[in-house]
């Protein structure tokens, strides 16, 4: 048992300097783009430096690692660095420095929480986040267009200051997009009239548009467009970045039905709908490479039979600075390629918090990328957590 | 675990055996249905799912088939009117007695399929069968009738009652939609219906298919008229067309399951049908000072461990938290350590079952976060069994929290047991069993406060897993809730 207590100021100061130096190096590396691989040796070296900083600066993480008998001197590969469960972001301040020095604190949406408590991600350096998200977004969503107008079904950063997703889209708007229309407000209200107007105004120039949203915001949009009896056709080349829909939710949407409706009502074909997988606890994202793989001579449809054969569909690709393993759900032993388990990520963009994060999401890691699994419709949860969510929300509701 | 339609194979009268699977491997198969004799099964091959090395086949029911089934059951139910209730209890009791008899083929059949279909270990499945079937014997069924009705003849004839005569009638057709998290619940539901002479359609839950189907098949030999009045079917949850047909035909509907399931079924049930919701419930244990002396504590520890382990904690009677009163000798922290030892020992005698990947995923989050909090300070301690799923978390914070189940329990200290009622009050609408030990003469006061807070059952710790047959199930008599009383008033 190791006592708690804050890190000594001198420790935090040293770690702060080391973090700043590492962050600058990482930004340079990230900005070179996702096409340049990181060798195992380079990744391990960066991972070990990040670990040392996090171990020194975060009392909670240090105590956890010591409890496992791991310290920076004993570690040479990223796999040996202890992974924290995503749940820990709800219970502890995981930050490689003083929490008060965070430039921003992102908060999880809490939709899948069984405890009712929201996770918090302290971000010491927003520029490091920007450096990670921009080249990855450009490579997978905008490989072939410059500064398309943006129609966002994700609230603007000013409306949702604690949302890491809003921050990401805000950054994309500033750095990669043309004029932007923000069509969902901070309370989740969708402005369909505004969507039609923006589609007409920006689409008039006949250039491709970029539309971003969660799967649920698209479902909502589709429902309204259908009810109004009239779609809103977007110009050729327009593309959609859609996120969510993979994690456990009360109402899951069959992707094929959603993509079919998008094609019908917005005129955007399936191979222009890019699914993003991300979470507040990770500052890097994964994408389905449908826009980048489709023109390749060796492109083959993924084996995901639930969606129409589109090259790149069914697998998500990580940038070189994010590595992922699937672990046995019970023993947490690493699984061989292709076997499904709990996804565990090591994200160098998380240098300012904790890089190694064990998630609740299931998937398999293959040479092509990560095959994610959502909830299995046939597996009715036995008694357990989903029902407990209801109980928790009932209890919260009464608590005010 | 995807649902499929079998490529070949015929749907004989519900049976079990070995069949060649579509992929060529021979899996033992269990047919998840039991129908009245001579009632035609659909002329399409059964669908199936594979679970734990067993292929479970089920009928793809269409709405017209369900309507015909309901009519057949209703007619068979009408023929039960002249049967004496006591004789029905005796006939039904033969099923329970056979399931308890180690030499009986019915018990062997049940034990062959129960572990794989429920996810429980073989010893756990056998213990659950013993505990459940004990309430299905003639003596226990008669005790249920007497405890609840006072005069069981009430179901057979008009009984004088002051200025009136009264007779009780069961529903003309009961439809019971089961959850499947605990094996045996479906069979209890089946027997309750037949006991009040009500024909019954059981929509079995995924993990509780074997016992009701076997019970009906066994009844076919012991009491064909009763067997003719019941049917067991399965279809995947949320398949609404056949379920709608069943609900429209029902006079009485009971639903077991998540709040979400209950809400959906309630919305589709006709207003004229009586509706009973056995929605999800949470239970907890409280251990008072009198049970916490160094000499006495092991009894409480073993009892709590058993209550957590039974059904791998999937029962609504399974505790999520154990509150340990301060000042009794052994404190909460030490109780947690001992409880961990007891759960580890139970892995030898009643091993834990298999966790679905999503359940394991949740458990790893909980364990990992507890490990971090334990490392950060003294308010949390974590014990767990590694690849064995049991997990004990001591937490100084006394707030009630739900567990992710599969033998995961939080131990929380309270200064005085009188604080527990306030701590659980936010969960009032979902509270069920409170297991108690060491409360001495404070039991009445404690039960009153817990009842006020929403609890429906206060029981000794070692009784938590198996309420008696006559318990007020979620606050209501399980037979009376089904009954319609008819008064005949005398001339004045």
pLDDT above 60 (res A307):
no
Residues B356, B480: Cα–Cα separation, whole Å: 37
Asked whether the beta carbons of B201 and B231 are under 8 A apart, the reply is yes
> Which structural domain, as residue segments, surrounds residue B296?
282-463
- A176 within some domain: no
- Chain B residues with beta carbon closer than 8 angstroms to that of A61: 372
- Percent of chain A clearing pLDDT 70 (strictly above): 81
Based on the domain organization, do B220 and B132 belong to the same domain? yes
**Percent with pLDDT over 70 in chain B:** 95
Q: What is the pLDDT of residue B460?
A: 98
pLDDT of residue B437: 98
Domain co-membership, B321 together with B228: no
B8 part of a folded domain: no
Q: How confident is the model at residue B339 (pLDDT cuts 50, 70, 90)?
A: very high
pLDDT of A1 over the 50 cut: no
> In chain B, how many domains are there?
2
Task: Please indicate whether, in this complex, the C-beta atoms of B359 and A381 are within 8 angstroms of each other.
Answer: yes
Q: Which residue has the higher pLDDT, A378 or A265?
A: A265
Question: Residue A91: its chain B contacts at CB < 8 A?
Answer: 369, 372-373
Tell me, yes or no, if A177 comes closer than 8 A to chain B by beta carbon: no
Residue A88 in domain: yes
Measure CA B152 to chain center.
25
Mean pLDDT of the region B95-116:
97
Share of chain B above pLDDT 90, in %: 88
Question: Given a cut of 60, is residue A262 above it in pLDDT?
Answer: yes
Provide the domain limits for residue A68.
Answer: 9-100
pLDDT digits (tens, 9 = 90+) for B36-76: 998 988 888 899 999 989 999 999 889 999 999 999 999 99
Is residue B333 within 8 angstroms of chain A, CB to CB?
no
Provide the pLDDT for residue A110: 61
CA distance B44 to B61: 9
Q: For residue B247, what are the CA distances in angstroms to B195, B296, B432?
A: 21, 51, 27
pLDDT tier at A95, thresholds 50, 70, 90:
very high
- Counting beta carbons within 10 angstroms of the beta carbon of residue A362, is it exposed (0 to 12), middle (13 to 18) or buried (19 or more)? buried
Q: What average pLDDT does the structure give for chain A?
A: 86
Q: Are A326 and A333 in contact (CB under 8 A)?
A: no
Residue of A nearest to B372 (CA): A64
Report the alpha-carbon distance of residue B308 to residue B314 in Å, rounded.
9
Q: Tell whether B50 is within 8 A of chain A (Cβ).
A: no
Asked if residue A328 is part of any domain, the answer here is no
Q: Does A74 touch chain B (CB under 8 A)?
A: no
pLDDT computed for residue A113 by the predictor: 47
Give pLDDT, residue B18: 54
Q: Are residues B255 and B361 in the same domain?
A: no
Contact B376/A399, CB-based, under 8 Å? no
Q: How confident is the model at residue A376 (pLDDT cuts 50, 70, 90)?
A: very low
CA B338/CA B332 separation, integer angstroms: 10
Domain match, B107 and B85 both: yes
Read off the CATH number of the domain in which B139 is found.
3.40.605.10
Q: Give the model's pLDDT for residue A384.
A: 35
Query: Residue B42's pLDDT is what?
Result: 83
Residue found by looking up tokens 């219906």 in the block: B193
Average pLDDT, chain B: 93
Residue B430, chain A, CB below 8 Å: the answer is yes
**Region A301-305: what's the mean pLDDT?**
43
Contacts of B259 in chain A (CB under 8 A): 387, 390-391, 394
On whether both B227 and B373 belong to a single domain, the answer is: no
Query: What's the ipTM?
Result: 0.86
What pLDDT digit, counting tens, does each position of A30-45 carry?
999 999 999 999 999 9
CATH of the domain at B292: 3.40.309.10
Interface of B with A in 444-483 (CB under 8 A): none
H runs (alpha helix) in chain A: 9-31, 40-57, 59-67, 88-91, 126-141, 164-175, 192-203, 215-227, 255-266, 290-293, 385-399
Within a domain: B256: yes
> For residues A68 and A80, what is the distance between their CA atoms, to the nearest angstrom?
11
Bridge-based pairing state of the strands A210-214 and A150-152: parallel
For residues B355 and B406, is the Cβ–Cβ distance under 8 A?
yes
CA B263 vs CA A96, A390, B39, B275, B279: distances in Å: 46, 12, 32, 11, 9
Using a CB-CB cut-off of 8 Å, the residues of chain B touching A83 are: 368
Interface of B with A in 52-71 (CB under 8 A): none
Show the 3-state SS of B46-81. Answer: CEEEEECCEEEEECCCCHHHHHHHHHHHHHHHHCCC
| Least confident interval from A286-300, A353-367, B390-404, B432-446 | A286-300
* Mean of pLDDT values over B65-90: 97
The pLDDT of residue B491 is 77
- DSSP type of residue A187: T
In a domain, B13, yes or no: no
Of A94, A95, A96, A86, the C-alpha closest to A117 is A86
Q: Of B250, B245, B414, B252, nearest to B335 (Cα)?
A: B414
The reply to whether A383 falls in a domain is: no
Q: For residue A119, what is the nearest residue in chain B, using CA coordinates? A: B369
pTM equals 0.89
Residues B320 and B362 in one domain: yes
C-alpha to C-alpha distance for B247 and B243, rounded to whole angstroms: 6
CB contact under 8 A, B49 and A378: yes
Q: What is the mean pLDDT of residues B353-371?
A: 94
Return d(Cα B397, Cα B414) in angstroms, integer. Answer: 9
Q: Is residue A217 part of a domain?
A: no
The answer to whether residues B438 and B404 belong to one domain is yes
| Inside any domain, residue A44 | yes
Secondary structure class of B253 (helix, strand, coil):
strand
Q: Are both B340 and B230 inside the same structural domain?
A: no
The answer, for A248 touching chain B at a CB cutoff of 8 Å, is yes
Quick: pLDDT tens for B170-196: 999 999 999 988 999 999 999 999 999
Average pLDDT over residues A372-377: 57
Q: Is the pLDDT of residue B468 over 80?
A: yes
Is the pLDDT at B322 greater than 50? The verdict is yes
Q: How far is B361 from chain A (nearest CA, A)?
A: 5
Pairing of strands B319-325, B282-287: parallel
How, if at all, do strands B4-5 and B380-385 pair? unpaired
Tokens linked to A12 = 């935090």
Q: Is B256 on the interface with A (CB under 8 A)?
A: no
A-facing residues of B in 171-200 (CB < 8 A) are 179-182
For chain A, the domain total comes to 1
Q: Is residue B242 in some structural domain?
A: yes
Residues B228 and B327 in one domain: no
Q: What is the average per-residue pLDDT within B17-36? A: 74
In B, which residues are within 8 Å of A3 by CB distance? 377
Q: Which B residues 96-135 touch A at CB under 8 Å?
A: 119
Q: Which residue in the block uniquely carries the two structure tokens 């389905």?
A: A288
Query: What residues of chain B, 21 to 40, have a C-beta less than 8 Å from chain A?
Result: none
What separation in angstroms does the CA of B388 have from each of A331, B308, B333, B371, B391?
Answer: 9, 14, 21, 17, 9
Q: How far apart are the first and last CA of chain A?
A: 37
| pLDDT tier, B96 (very low <50, low <70, confident <90, very high otherwise) | very high
| Interface contact flag, A67 B375, Cβ < 8 Å | yes
* Per-residue pLDDT reduced to its tens digit, B203-240: 999 999 999 999 999 999 999 999 999 999 999 876 68
Name the residue with higher pLDDT: A17 or A141: A141
B336 and B195 in a common domain: no
Same domain, B181 and B307: no
B273 shares its domain with B289:
no
Residue B395 belongs to a domain: yes
- Residue B240 distance to chain A (closest CA, Å): 15
Q: How many CB pairs under 8 A join A and B?
A: 161
Section B375-402 average pLDDT:
97
Q: Which residue of A has its CA nearest to B369?
A: A88
Structural domain contains residue A71: yes
Residue B340 in this model has a pLDDT that exceeds 70: yes
Is there a contact between B58 and B161 (Cβ–Cβ < 8 Å)? Answer: no
CB atoms within 10 A of CB B396: 13
Give the pLDDT confidence of A144-192 residue by residue, as tens digits: 999 999 999 999 999 999 999 999 999 999 999 999 999 999 888 999 9
Give the gap in angstroms from C-alpha B342 to the nearest C-alpha of chain A.
21
Q: What was the pLDDT predicted at A311?
A: 78
């Amino acid at each position: 048992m190791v006592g708690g207590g804050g890190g000594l100021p001198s420790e935090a100061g040293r770690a702060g300097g080391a973090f700043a130096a590492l962050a600058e190096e990482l930004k340079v590396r990230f900005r070179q783009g996702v096409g340049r691989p990181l060798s195992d040796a380079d990744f391990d070296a960066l991972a070990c430096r990040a670990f040392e900083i996090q171990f020194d600066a975060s009392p909670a993480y240090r105590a956890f690692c010591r409890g496992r008998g791991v310290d920076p001197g004993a570690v040479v590969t990223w796999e040996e660095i202890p992974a924290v469960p995503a749940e820990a972001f709800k219970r502890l301040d995981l930050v490689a420095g003083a929490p008060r020095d965070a430039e921003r604190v992102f908060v999880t949406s809490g939709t899948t929480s069984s405890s009712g408590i929201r996770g918090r991600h302290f971000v010491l350096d927003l520029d490091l986040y920007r450096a990670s998200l921009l080249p990855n977004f450009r490579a997978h969503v905008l490989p072939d267009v410059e500064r398309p107008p943006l129609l966002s079904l994700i609230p603007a950063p000013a409306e949702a200051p604690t949302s890491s997703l809003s921050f990401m889209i805000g950054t994309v708007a500033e750095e990669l997009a043309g004029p932007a229309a923000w069509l969902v407000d901070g309370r989740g209200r969708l402005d369909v009239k505004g969507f039609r107007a923006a589609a007409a105004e920006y689409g008039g120039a006949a250039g491709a548009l970029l539309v971003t949203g969660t799967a649920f915001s698209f479902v909502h949009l589709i429902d309204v467009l259908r009810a109004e009896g009239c779609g809103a056709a977007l110009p050729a080349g327009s593309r959609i970045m859609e996120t969510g829909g993979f994690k456990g939710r009360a109402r899951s949407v069959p992707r094929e039905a959603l993509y079919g409706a998008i094609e019908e009502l917005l005129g955007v074909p399936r191979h222009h709908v890019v699914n993003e997988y991300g979470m507040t606890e990770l500052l890097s994202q994964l994408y389905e490479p449908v826009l980048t793989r489709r023109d390749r001579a060796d492109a083959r449809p993924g084996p995901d039979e639930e969606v129409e054969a589109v090259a790149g569909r069914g697998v998500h690709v990580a940038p070189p600075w994010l590595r992922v393993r699937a672990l046995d759900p019970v023993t947490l032993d690493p699984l061989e390629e292709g076997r499904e388990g709990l996804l565990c990520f090591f994200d160098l963009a998380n240098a300012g918090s904790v890089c190694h994060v064990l998630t609740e999401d299931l998937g398999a890691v293959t040479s092509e990328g990560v095959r994610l699994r959502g909830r299995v419709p046939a597996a009715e949860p036995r008694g357990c957590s989903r029902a407990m969510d209801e109980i928790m929300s009932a209890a919260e509701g009464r608590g005010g | 675990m995807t649902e499929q339609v079998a490529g070949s194979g015929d749907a004989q009268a519900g049976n079990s055996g070995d069949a060649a699977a579509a992929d060529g491997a021979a899996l033992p198969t269990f047919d998840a249905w039991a129908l009245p004799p001579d009632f035609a099964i659909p002329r399409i091959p059964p669908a199936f799912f594979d679970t734990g090395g067993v292929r479970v086949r089920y009928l793809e029911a269409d709405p017209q088939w369900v309507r015909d089934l309901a009519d057949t059951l209703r007619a068979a139910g009408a023929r039960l009117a002249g049967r004496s209730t006591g004789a029905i209890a005796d006939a039904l009791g033969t099923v329970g007695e056979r399931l308890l008899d180690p030499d009986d083929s019915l018990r062997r059949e049940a034990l062959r399929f129960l572990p794989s279909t429920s996810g429980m270990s073989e010893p756990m499945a056998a213990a659950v069968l013993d505990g459940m079937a004990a309430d299905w014997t003639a003596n226990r069924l008669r005790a249920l009738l007497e405890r609840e009705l006072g005069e069981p003849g009430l179901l057979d004839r008009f009984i004088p009652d002051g200025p009136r005569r009264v007779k009780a009638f069961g529903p003309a057709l009961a439809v019971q939609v089961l959850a499947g998290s605990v094996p045996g619940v479906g069979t209890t539901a089946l027997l309750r219906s037949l006991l009040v002479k009500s024909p019954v359609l059981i929509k079995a839950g995924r993990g509780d298919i074997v016992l009701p189907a076997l019970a009906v098949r066994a009844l076919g030999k012991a009491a064909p008229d009763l067997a003719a009045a019941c049917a067991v079917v399965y279809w995947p949850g949320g398949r609404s067309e056949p379920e709608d047909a069943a609900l429209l035909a029902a006079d009485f509907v009971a639903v077991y399951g998540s709040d979400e399931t209950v809400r959906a079924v309630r919305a589709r049930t006709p207003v004229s049908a009586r509706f009973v919701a056995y929605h999800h419930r949470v239970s907890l244990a409280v251990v008072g000072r009198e049970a916490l002396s160094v000499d006495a504590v092991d009894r409480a520890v073993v009892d709590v461990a058993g209550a957590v382990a039974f059904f791998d904690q999937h029962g609504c009677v399974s505790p999520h938290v154990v509150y340990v009163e301060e000042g009794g000798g052994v404190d909460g922290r030490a109780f947690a350590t001992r409880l961990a030892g007891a759960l580890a020992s139970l892995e030898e005698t009643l091993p834990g079952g298999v966790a679905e990947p999503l359940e394991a995923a949740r458990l790893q989050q909980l364990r990992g976060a507890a490990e971090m909090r334990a490392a950060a300070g003294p308010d949390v301690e974590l014990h767990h069994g590694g690849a064995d799923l049991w997990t004990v978390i001591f937490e100084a914070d006394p707030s009630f929290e739900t567990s992710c189940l599969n033998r995961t329990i939080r131990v929380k200290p309270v200064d005085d047991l009188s604080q527990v009622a306030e701590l659980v009050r936010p969960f009032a609408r979902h509270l069920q069993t409170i297991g108690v030990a060491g409360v001495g003469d404070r039991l009445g006061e404690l039960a009153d406060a817990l009842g006020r807070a929403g609890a429906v059952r206060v029981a000794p710790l070692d009784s938590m897993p198996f309420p008696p047959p006559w318990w007020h199930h979620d606050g209501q008599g399980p037979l009376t809730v089904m009954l319609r009383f008819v008064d005949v008033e005398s001339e004045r």
